[in-house]
């Protein structure tokens, strides 16, 4: 076992997440044990980030803190998720590092209401509207006052230029810069201690140059009779910049629409009645095992299963499936879905904070967190771009002074300042920084609209584009996974009656029913059979278990309470699992399609289950093959069953009777052969292989799937989404390249125009 653990460490497999503890391994290096057991994660809310360059700056600052193992920063949510060693740093030190970088930082996450407000850009949009309105009025007045002397005529021209009007213009121009453009200047110079220069730095310098030129013209008193003050140019440039910021904020709000909808569902204030009482509670106060009534048109508050009634359920918000799905007794409901037609009585199996809706929100939010792997060339460009533009503005200022040497002093300075302002305001480094992240977020949004969650951003999409080998699990992936119990048998020596047997089996499978198709089938069958036998209060006993022990791919054992202080030992799983536990299974009954169970250590019977191949499986496999991908099946089922599926779908079998560790080793073997492997599965027995693969794809929303293995989660369970994910990834990667090219081309053309390289052709650009 120790050798296996070391191999997993070598391949960076997150073994701790399957409950293995290094601390209990005497052969594990002490340093490794300390690092793993003491590492922590914290979330920090950040204010003041406006673009990809800000994200890069915060990430760099956090990475420079000793003890930070990894830092992911989200621009839409304004937060950082930091994995760190508490022996080397503290969460307060991380907050301080962000503040030193020039951003606002608060330890902890924002509330759902605050997150929605940020995603809607409410405060920023209102602030920008006010600033644009105010700056526009002032700029118009400035422009009008600049032309007053002309309307007064030559008699008043000289006196007007030397009178109150220039000072009035200057005061209004100063007001525009000091108030309406204050956020631009604050963001530009709040990071001066780190010598960080951004897009705001360029814009602020341009505006300050314009204001400085107005001051020079006003105090010089030596304007030529034909000259005009420069106040209006700087003020109208402020209006243009603010309008651009407003448009950017509106676009960000639109791109966050899917996140806003998810947070709105979580923040709903509906009340739910506790069955058999007059007590009503909000979703946030419901706890595991609560017996709750869900009325028609109500949103499902938490993950739960039905114990009474049947109804049509709208799952479009979670799975992307447009048509309602009929649910009945024993079926599981996902938080955030909607009950359409009839009253349901359900048992809560997860608190709202741990529900599928919370996991979907977390996964989509995590997809917005940017790590810049694979973007090193762009990072190098971003690193030198702003400094290069400032140097270019300085050079253009100097060359313009030299070129106009011999003219009046004020005219020379005006021309040089104009040129520098044009260069500073024309550059757009944010376009380069956002080229790839914006494409990635668009891809995440497009995938989510089809019922697919993509985490890992552009890194996952690039890995999908490079994929050469797809390994697919059988049960629940190539087959429907909605198994039916076709027959069962209780051994004649079982000491419990049938009602009690049903209750014991359902209680034992209640936990795994959310993560494994066989357990789900047995749970639903046992629950239905027990209720049909008159156990109307069966739900009171379902969750009364203890000492639960589950072996992925094999079976489960636990103790179930039958009466007040009486507990029965229940073991259920494969024949091999029972035999490993010292329970002898009748030889005539050993078949792959059967699930065996034992009560109190004695074999007690079996349950026959049956599955069918997904109707879309064959067409999806052919689509993947036509794209040049190699597809194979890796299953824990017996060889005859694997061969049957293989012959129907015309897909080779990589291995049968494969345990979770066997699946992991097969994936590693393919990677050693040079393949980029995508592992597609649906349960916890696939998670090791998914973690090892270059990309893990989960074909269902199950407990822990989002956090543990699946870089891609197909919420609807429809395999057609798998082919769509590859298509979306190819489009996103191609679009990211196009975005980068256009951003570079724009900056090249804009800076060329700003430098006056096309003035000989009559093309002139000014601030």
Residues 654 and 695 in one domain: yes
Higher-scoring residue by pLDDT: 507, 54: 507
- Residue at which a domain ends, from 267, 292, 323: 267
Residues 130 and 255 in one domain: yes
- 540 found inside a domain: yes
Residues 605 and 642 in one domain: no
Q: How many domains does the chain contain in total?
A: 5
- 510 found inside a domain: yes
Res 448 pLDDT > 90: no
- Residue at which a domain ends, from 354, 377, 408: 354
Collect all residues with Cβ–Cβ distance below 8 Å to 626 and sequence separation of at least 6: none
Rounded to an integer, the average pLDDT of 625-637 is: 91
- Identify the CA nearest to 334 among candidates 312, 354, 315: 315
Here the CATH number for the domain that contains residue 620 is: 3.40.50.1000
**pLDDT-derived band of residue 652, with 50, 70 and 90 as boundaries?**
very high
- 411 found inside a domain: no
**pLDDT-derived band of residue 706, with 50, 70 and 90 as boundaries?**
very low
- 671 found inside a domain: yes
Q: Which range among 61-70, 230-239, 358-367 shows the weakest confidence by mean pLDDT?
A: 358-367
- 419 found inside a domain: no
> Distance between CA atoms of 574 and 681, rounded to whole angstroms?
20
Res 164 pLDDT > 70: yes
Q: What was the pLDDT predicted at 44?
A: 93
Q: What was the pLDDT predicted at 22?
A: 37
- 19 found inside a domain: no
Residues 104 and 143 in one domain: no
- Identify the CA nearest to 52 among candidates 575, 377, 436, 600: 436
**pLDDT-derived band of residue 576, with 50, 70 and 90 as boundaries?**
confident
Task: State which residues form the domain around 68.
Answer: 38-118
Computed from CA positions of residues 445, 446, 452, 458, in that sequence, does the dihedral angle turn out positive or negative? negative
Residues 500 and 557 in one domain: yes
**pLDDT per residue as tens digits for the range 724-754:** 999 999 999 999 999 989 999 999 999 999 9
* Whether 548 contacts 512, CB under 8 Å: no
Res 161 pLDDT > 60: no
Res 101 pLDDT > 70: yes
**pLDDT-derived band of residue 26, with 50, 70 and 90 as boundaries?**
very low
- Identify the CA nearest to 83 among candidates 371, 353, 368, 367: 371
Residues 242 and 152 in one domain: yes
Q: What was the pLDDT predicted at 491?
A: 81
Tokens (6 digits) for 517: 């198709």
**pLDDT-derived band of residue 373, with 50, 70 and 90 as boundaries?**
low
Q: Compute the C-alpha angle 291/292/296, nearest 5°.
A: 150
Q: Which residues pair with 405 in a beta bridge?
A: 407
Res 678 pLDDT > 70: yes
- Residue at which a domain ends, from 97, 118, 139: 118
Res 28 pLDDT > 50: no
Residues 288 and 209 in one domain: no
- 545 found inside a domain: yes
Q: What was the pLDDT predicted at 565?
A: 74
Rounded to an integer, the average pLDDT of 441-446 is: 82
pTM score, whole prediction:
0.70
The proportion of the chain whose per-residue pLDDT surpasses 70, expressed as a percent, equals 83
**pLDDT-derived band of residue 223, with 50, 70 and 90 as boundaries?**
very low
Here the CATH number for the domain that contains residue 111 is: 3.30.70.100
Res 684 pLDDT > 70: no
Residues 539 and 458 in one domain: no
Higher-scoring residue by pLDDT: 33, 706: 706
Q: 3-class DSSP state for residue 604? A: strand
Residues 620 and 722 in one domain: yes
Rounded to an integer, the average pLDDT of 630-658 is: 88
Strand order in the sheet with 79-84: 104-107, 40-47, 79-84, 68-74, 369-370
- 17 found inside a domain: no
Res 20 pLDDT > 50: no
Higher-scoring residue by pLDDT: 29, 104: 104
Collect all residues with Cβ–Cβ distance below 8 Å to 633 and sequence separation of at least 6: 471, 472, 473, 474, 478, 642, 645, 646, 649, 651, 652, 653, 654
Residues 208 and 277 in one domain: no
Here the CATH number for the domain that contains residue 592 is: 3.40.1110.10
Q: What was the pLDDT predicted at 199?
A: 78
Residues 283 and 217 in one domain: no
Residues 507 and 624 in one domain: no
Number of other residues whose CB lies within 10 A of the CB of residue 148: 14
């Amino acid at each position: 076992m120790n050798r296996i653990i070391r191999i997993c460490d070598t391949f960076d497999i997150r073994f701790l997440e399957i409950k293995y503890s290094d601390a209990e391994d005497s052969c594990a290096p002490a340093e490794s044990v300390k690092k793993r057991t003491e590492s922590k994660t914290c979330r920090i809310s950040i204010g003041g980030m406006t673009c990809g360059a800000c994200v890069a700056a915060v990430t760099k600052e956090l990475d420079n803190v000793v003890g930070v193992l990894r830092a992911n920063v989200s621009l839409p949510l304004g937060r950082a998720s930091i994995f760190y060693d508490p022996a080397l740093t503290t969460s307060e030190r991380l907050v301080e590092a962000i503040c030193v970088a020039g951003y606002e930082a608060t330890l902890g996450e924002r509330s759902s209401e605050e997150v929605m407000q940020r995603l809607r850009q409410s405060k920023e949009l209102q602030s920008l509207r006010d600033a644009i309105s105010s700056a526009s009025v002032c700029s118009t007045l400035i422009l009008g006052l600049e032309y007053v002397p002309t309307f007064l005529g030559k008699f008043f021209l000289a006196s007007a230029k030397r009178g109150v009007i220039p000072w009035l213009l200057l005061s209004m121009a100063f007001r525009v810069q000091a108030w309406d453009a204050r956020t631009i200047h604050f963001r530009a110079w709040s990071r001066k201690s780190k010598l960080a220069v951004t897009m705001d730095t360029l814009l602020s310098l341009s505006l300050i140059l314009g204001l400085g030129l107005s001051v020079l013209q006003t105090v010089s008193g030596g304007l030529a009779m034909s000259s005009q003050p420069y106040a209006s140019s700087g003020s109208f440039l402020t209006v243009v910049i603010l309008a651009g910021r407003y448009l950017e904020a509106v676009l960000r709000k639109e791109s966050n629409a899917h996140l806003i909808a998810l947070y709105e569902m979580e923040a709903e204030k509906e009340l739910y009645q506790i069955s058999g009482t007059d007590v009503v509670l909000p979703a946030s106060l419901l706890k595991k095992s609560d017996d709750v009534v869900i009325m028609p048109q109500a949103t499902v508050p938490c993950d739960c299963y039905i114990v009474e009634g049947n109804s049509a359920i709208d799952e479009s918000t979670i799975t992307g499936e447009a048509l309602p799905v009929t649910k009945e007794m024993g079926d599981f409901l996902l938080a955030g879905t909607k009950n359409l037609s009839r009253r349901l009585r359900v048992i809560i199996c997860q608190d709202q904070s741990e529900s599928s809706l919370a996991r979907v929100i977390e996964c989509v939010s995590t997809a917005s967190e940017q790590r810049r792997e694979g973007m090193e060339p762009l990072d190098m460009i971003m690193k030198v771009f702003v400094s290069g533009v400032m140097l270019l503005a300085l050079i253009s200022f100097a060359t313009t002074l030299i070129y106009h040497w011999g003219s009046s002093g004020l005219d020379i300075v005006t021309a040089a300042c104009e040129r520098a302002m044009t260069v500073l305001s024309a550059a757009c480094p944010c376009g380069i920084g956002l080229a790839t992240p914006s494409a990635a977020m668009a891809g995440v949004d497009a995938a989510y609209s089809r019922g697919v969650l993509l985490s890992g951003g552009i890194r996952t999409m690039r890995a999908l584009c490079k994929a050469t080998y797809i390994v697919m699990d059988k049960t629940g992936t190539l087959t429907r996974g909605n198994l039916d119990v076709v027959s069962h048998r209780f051994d004649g020596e079982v000491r419990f009656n049938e009602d009690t047997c049903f209750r014991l089996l359902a209680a034992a499978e209640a936990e795994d029913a959310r993560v494994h198709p066989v357990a789900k089938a047995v749970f639903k069958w046992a629950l239905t059979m027990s209720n049909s036998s008159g156990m109307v209060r069966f739900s009171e006993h379902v969750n009364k278990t203890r000492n639960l022990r589950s072996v992925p791919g094999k079976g489960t054992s636990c103790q179930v309470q039958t009466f007040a202080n009486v507990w029965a030992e229940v073991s259920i799983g494969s024949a091999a699992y029972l035999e490993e536990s010292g329970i002898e299974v009748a030889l005539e009954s050993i078949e792959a399609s059967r699930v065996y169970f034992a009560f109190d250590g004695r074999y007690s019977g079996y349950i026959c289950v049956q599955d069918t191949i997904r109707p879309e499986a064959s067409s999806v496999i052919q689509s993947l093959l036509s794209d040049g991908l190699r597809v194979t099946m890796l299953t824990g089922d017996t060889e005859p069953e694997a061969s049957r599926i293989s012959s129907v779908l015309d897909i080779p079998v990589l291995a049968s009777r494969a345990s979770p560790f066997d699946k992991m080793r097969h994936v590693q073997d393919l990677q050693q052969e040079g393949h980029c492997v995508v592992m597609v599965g649906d349960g916890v027995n696939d998670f090791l292989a998914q973690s090892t693969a270059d990309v893990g794809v989960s074909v269902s929303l199950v407990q822990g799937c989002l956090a543990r293995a699946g870089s891609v989660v197909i919420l609807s369970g429809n395999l057609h989404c798998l082919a769509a994910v590859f298509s979306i990834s190819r489009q996103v990667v191609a679009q990211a390249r196009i975005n980068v090219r256009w951003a570079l081309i724009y900056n090249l053309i804009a800076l060329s125009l700003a430098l006056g390289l096309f003035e000989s052709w009559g093309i002139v650009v000014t601030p």
